[in-house]
Structure 1
Amino acid sequence: MSPAQHPPAPRVSVLLPVYNTEPYLAECMDSLLGQDLAPGELEIVAVDDGSTDGSGELLDKYAADHDHVVVFHQANSGWPGQPRNRATRASTGRYVFYMDSDDYLGGEALRRMCDYADEHDSDIVLPKMVPSDDRPGRWLLWSETQVDADLRLAFKTLSPQKLLRRSLIEDHDLRFPEGMVRLEDGIVLARAYFFARRVSLLGGYDFYFKRLQDEAQNISKRAINPAGYVGSVREIMDSVRELCPDKTLADDIVLDLYRRKALRRLRPDRILGYRPPRQQAWVTEAAQLAEDHVPRELQQRLKPIPRLQSEFARRDDLPAVLTLAEADAAGRPPAVRVAAGQLVLDAPDDEGRDRAITELVELVIPRIGLRQRATRLDLVVNAGPGGLEGAPLPLQVELVPQGGGRPVVLPLTTTAITSRAAYDYAARLPLDELALSRAVTYHVWVVAQLSPPLRVWPAVPKSTALLGRRIADMVRSGWRVELGQVSAQGATRQTLVIRGRSRVAALPRIARRPARRLAAVVRRVRFPGEVPG
C-alpha cells in the first residue's frame, strides 16, 4: 500500500489496562464508543492483563464488532505500568488518553479535549473529573479553565487520566515504571508536566467519571510497603528539583507532595491502625524524606499539627507522633506545658527525649480589646499557642510608640479560659505614663517569655468593631483611648491610640452623671452580666 493509501492516523487513542473489571467494563467501553468524534478519529487499545473474570472475553466481543478496538492479551504483570506501555507502543493516535477500565467518559469528552489542545497547542490537558456516584470528594480542583495551568495546582493530580500529545511522549521517552511500583503514574506525569510546552486545565464539562471502589476491590489498595511508596515520592521530588526552573515553585510543589503523600500516613486514620513495626517504618521513611527534600525552614510553612508531626518524625519519636494522632482522633488539641522556659509536648515515654517545640509554635492572638473597670482601663488579650492546649503562657505586652521611642512593657495576667487552646489575659493601662499632651499611637506587641521568645504584632480581626469601645472608653475613663490599626508587614496590624484627657473629666460632677449613665447603658450592652470590678 502506498503512503497515499494509508488511512490517516486517528486523532486520539484511548489506552486501557484491564484487570478483572468485568462488572464495569461494558459501561466504560460503551462510553468510548459513544463519543461524538468523526469516523476514524478514535482508536481504543486495551491490554487484558491476565484477567480471570471474563473481562478478556468481553473485550474480544467489542473488538470483533468494532474495527477501531484493538485488544492484546498477556499474563498478569501485577501492576498497570507495563500494560500502559504496551498500549502506548501499539497505538497510533496524535493524542493519547490514559483511562482506567472501571471508569467512563462524558459523551463529548474526547472531542472537547482534542479541540482544546489543537486550539491552544497544549501538550497536556487535565480534564475535570467527577465521581461516578454521589460520594463527596475533591473533584473541582479546577472550576475554571486555565490555558497555562498553575503547575502547583496540576501537581495535585498525578493520576494518569490526562490527554497527552504523542510527540511529547516520544520526544522524551516517557514510559511508566513496570512491576509493582507505587505511584508509577506520578513518576511519569511529574516529568511530563515540565517537558510540556503547555499544560492546560479544562473545566466547564464533566469529562471523566471516576469510580471510587471499596478498599477490598481496588488493586491499588493493597498493603503498601513504606520504603517503596516513599521511594516513589522521592523520585517525583527529585524530578521536581531537577526540572523546575523556579525554586520557589519547586519548594511549593515539594512541600505539597510531602504533606499529601508522606505526612498523611501519620494521620490518625492511617497510623493508629498500623501495628507498631509498621508505625515505626512510616515514621522512619517520612523522616528520611524530610531530611532529603524538606529543610526545616520549608517545614515551618506547614500548618501547626503537620509541622509537629514532621518534626517528631525527624526526631524518631514515635510516641510523640502517636500522641498527636490520638489527640486529632479525639477532636481535641494536643496538650503542651511550660518547662524550663520551653513549651513542651505532653506525651508519654519522655525520658531522654527532646519534646521542646517552642520554635515550632506560633503565638495566636484572635482578639484584643479594652475593658472598662470602675477606676481603671484594661487591655485584654486573648492568646494561645496555635492549635495546642495547656496551662497559661508567661505573656507580656509591649506598647511601642509609632515613630520610635521607649516601649512600655506590661505584664499580662490570666483572667479567663475561653477555649481549650486560648486564655484571656489582661494588663492595666498606666494612662498617666502613656498619655502625653498630644495623641500617641502605640504598636501592640504580645510576647511569650519563652526560650526563644515568641513575639507577635497581632493582625486586626475583620470582625472588630471599634465604635462601641470608643464611646465607652472616652466617657467613662476620662481619657480618649481607642484601638486602632495600621498597615504593616503585609497586614492590618493592631494599635492603641491615647489622645489625652477628655472634656468629660473636666466637667463638674453633676454634669458627668448623664455621661456616666450613657456609659453604663453601653457597658450593659457590650458586657452583659459583668460584675463591676
Structure 2
Amino acid sequence: MNDKQVPDVSVIVGAYEAMPYLIRCLESVEAQTLGADRIEIVAVDDGSTDGTGEYLEKFAARTAIPTRVVRQANSGGPSGPRNVGLGLAEGRYVFFLDADDYFGEEALERMVTMADRAATDVVLGKIVGVNRGAPGSMWTRTADRVDIYSSQVIFTLSAQKLFRRELLERLGLRFDETLRTGEDALFTMEAYIRGKGVSVISDYTCYHLVGRDDGKHVTRTGSYALRFEATGALMALIARLVPPGPKRDRLMVRPFTVGLIQQFAHGLMRQPEEVQRHKMELAAPLMARYWTPEVARRIKVAERLRLECVALGRLDLLRDMLDFVKAETKPEVVRKGRARTPYLAFPHFGDRSTGLKDASYEVTVPDWVGRPGLERIEAPRAARRRRSPLIRVARRIRTHVRTRWARWTRYALPSS
C-alpha cells in the first residue's frame, strides 16, 4: 500500500463452515462508522465445504472495503487462519473477528479513538452474548487505562480485542498452533503483560458473541486433556513473564479459577472413575508447581477447598465438597481468635487427619455463605493486609519516620 493510506484497522476473519453467520458478520464490518477507507479485511477460509469461501470471494468483489481472501486447506483450529491473516495485515491496529459474531456499528471507531487517545496497546470493547454467556465482570466502567493486576480484565482472554499491530510485530506475537484450545488466552495475556497499557470501553456494546444453533462453536470442542494442556501453558507463560510476588499471584488466579477448576465441577462425579483419576493425575504437576498459599488466599473458600483437595490428590474429599455445595448447604460461620477471624465450616473443617488446614477455610476475600443473596462475609482487615506486603512495608516506614520525627522535635529543638 505504498500509494494508499494505511488503514487504521485490519479486521482479521478466520472462517470455517461459517455460513450463514458469516453474512451478518461481514455486514457489520461494512456498517462501521469508522469508514471503509480506514478499514481493511483479511479473510481466511480454512478449508470450508459449505460455501464460506465462495461467499468471501463474492463479498470481496463488491464491497467498498479493501478485502483480501485466502483459501487454504483445513488447519484444524483457529490459530492458523489468524496467523495467516496477521501476516498479511497492514493496519495500525488489528481486530480478530470470529465469523460467527458481529460488531456494534460504532465499535471500531470507538476503540481506535480510545487507543489513540490513551496510547494503549490493547482495547477491550464491551462484549455481550447472543444465545450464549459472555464475561461481564470487567464492564463496570469505561477507563483509558486499567491495571491488569487489580482489575477484572484478566477474566476475558479471548482474542476479540483491538491490538496495536506494532506491539504484535515487536514481540513476534502469534497464536500457538500446537494448542487446539486456549491459544487465545496465551496470546492475549502476553499482550496484557508486555504491552503499554489496556483500555476498557464499557458504555457501548462493541461485540456480539454468538452461540451457534448447530452447536459447532469452536469453544465447545476439545477433550479435557487438551484443556489441561492449555491451562498449564497459561500458567507457564505467567511464571515466565512475571517474577514471583503479588502480581504473579494475582494473575495465577485466572487459570486456576477459569480453567482448572472447571474440570472438577459437579459433573465430575457423573464421569467414569478412570476419567476422574486421570484428571487428578493431569492436575498434579500443575498444583505442585503453581499452587501456593498466596494464590489460594485470593480465591473464595468453596473454590479454594476444591483446589486444595486436588492438590492433596484426594478424590474422596473432593466428592464431599461437591456434594455439600450441590445440596446448597449453608456452611456455618466460625469465628476464632482475638481478631474473630471468620472461617466457613465446609466438610472436614478442623479435621487435621485430612491434610486440609484451617487456613483453607478462612475468609480472605469477600465471600458469600451459600448462594448469592445470603449472608456476605467480609475478610477482616488483618487478612486483607496480609495480601498486600507492600502496604505493610509502607506502613512500617511511615511509623518509623513519625516516631523519629517526634523524638527529634521533642528533644532536639530549642525551647521558645
Name the TM tier (shorter chain).
0.7 to 0.9
Q: One-letter code of the match for 2:103?
A: L
Cα–Cα, structure 1 residues 7 and 295, in superposed 2: closer, same or farther, change >3 Å? Answer: same
Equivalent pair of 1:94/1:165 in contact (CA under 8 Å): yes
Q: Which residue number corresponds to residue 522 of structure 1?
A: none
Q: Which residue number corresponds to residue 359 of structure 1?
A: 358
Three-state SS of the structure 1 residue aligned to 2:177 is: coil
Q: Which residue number corresponds to residue 72 of structure 2?
A: 74
Q: Which residue number corresponds to residue 165 of structure 2?
A: 166
Three-state SS of the structure 1 residue aligned to 2:146 is: coil
Cα offset, 1:224, TM superposition: 1.8
Q: Which residue number corresponds to residue 126 of structure 1?
A: 124
Tell me which of 318, 323, 327 is aligned to 2:324.
327
Cα offset, 1:65, TM superposition: 0.8
Tell me which of 80, 100, 119 is aligned to 1:102.
100
Cα–Cα, structure 1 residues 248 and 300, in superposed 2: closer, same or farther, change >3 Å? Answer: closer
Q: Which residue number corresponds to residue 208 of structure 1?
A: 207
Cα–Cα, structure 1 residues 490 and 171, in superposed 2: closer, same or farther, change >3 Å? Answer: closer
Question: Are 1:28 and 2:30 an aligned pair?
Answer: no
CA distance in 2, matches of 1:91, 1:183: 23
> Which consecutive residues of structure 1, in runs of 5 or more, have no partner in the other structure?
336-342, 347-352, 365-385, 389-421, 423-458, 462-486, 492-533
CA distance in 1, matches of 2:7, 2:360: 57
Q: Which residue number corresponds to residue 188 of structure 1?
A: 187
Question: Are 1:256 and 2:263 an aligned pair?
Answer: no
Equivalent pair of 1:305/1:387 in contact (CA under 8 Å): no
CA root-mean-square deviation: 3.1
Equivalent pair of 1:96/1:166 in contact (CA under 8 Å): yes
Cα–Cα, structure 1 residues 264 and 208, in superposed 2: closer, same or farther, change >3 Å? Answer: same
Summarize deviations over 1:448-489 as a string: whole Å, max 9, x none: xxxxxxxxxxx9x9xxxxxxxxxxxxxxxxxxxxxxxxx984
Cα–Cα, structure 1 residues 363 and 104, in superposed 2: closer, same or farther, change >3 Å? Answer: closer
Cα–Cα, structure 1 residues 345 and 107, in superposed 2: closer, same or farther, change >3 Å? Answer: closer
Three-state SS of the structure 2 residue aligned to 1:89 is: helix
Three-state SS of the structure 2 residue aligned to 1:332 is: coil
Q: Which residue number corresponds to residue 43 of structure 2?
A: 46
Cα offset, 1:300, TM superposition: 4.2
Superposed, 1:253-402 pairs within 5 Å as 253-268=251-266, 270-332=267-329, 345=347, 354-360=353-359, 362=361
Q: Which residue number corresponds to residue 56 of structure 2?
A: 59
Three-state SS of the structure 1 residue aligned to 2:354 is: coil
Question: Are 1:90 and 2:67 an aligned pair?
Answer: no
Summarize deviations over 1:219-253 as a string: whole Å, max 9, x none: 32124232x32232222222223323682121011
Cα offset, 1:136, TM superposition: 5.7
Cα–Cα, structure 1 residues 138 and 185, in superposed 2: closer, same or farther, change >3 Å? Answer: closer
The structure with the largest alpha-carbon Rg is: 1
Cα offset, 1:166, TM superposition: 0.9
CA distance in 1, matches of 2:170, 2:4: 24
% identical equivalent positions:
31
Cα–Cα, structure 1 residues 126 and 293, in superposed 2: closer, same or farther, change >3 Å? Answer: same
Q: How many residues align?
A: 359
Cα–Cα, structure 1 residues 217 and 181, in superposed 2: closer, same or farther, change >3 Å? Answer: closer
Cα offset, 1:321, TM superposition: 1.5
Q: Which residue number corresponds to residue 231 of structure 1?
A: 229
Superposed, 1:384-423 pairs within 5 Å as none
Q: One-letter code of the match for 1:198?
A: G
Q: Which residue number corresponds to residue 111 of structure 2?
A: 113
Q: One-letter code of the match for 1:236?
A: L
Cα–Cα, structure 1 residues 297 and 114, in superposed 2: closer, same or farther, change >3 Å? Answer: closer
Q: One-letter code of the match for 1:87?
A: G
CA distance in 1, matches of 2:233, 2:383: 36
CA distance in 2, matches of 1:74, 1:39: 26
Summarize deviations over 1:183-223 as a string: whole Å, max 9, x none: 10111111111121121112211100111346832232124
Cα–Cα, structure 1 residues 358 and 244, in superposed 2: closer, same or farther, change >3 Å? Answer: closer
Question: Are 1:37 and 2:30 an aligned pair?
Answer: no
TM score, norm. by length of structure 2: 0.78
Three-state SS of the structure 2 residue aligned to 1:217 is: coil
Equivalent pair of 2:331/2:346 in contact (CA under 8 Å): no
Three-state SS of the structure 2 residue aligned to 1:265 is: helix
Cα offset, 1:73, TM superposition: 0.6
* Larger proportion of helix: 2
Cα offset, 1:322, TM superposition: 2.2
Equivalent pair of 1:79/1:179 in contact (CA under 8 Å): no
CA distance in 2, matches of 1:261, 1:176: 18
Cα–Cα, structure 1 residues 334 and 38, in superposed 2: closer, same or farther, change >3 Å? Answer: closer
Pick which of 138-147 and 39-48 moved more: 138-147
Q: One-letter code of the match for 1:239?
A: L
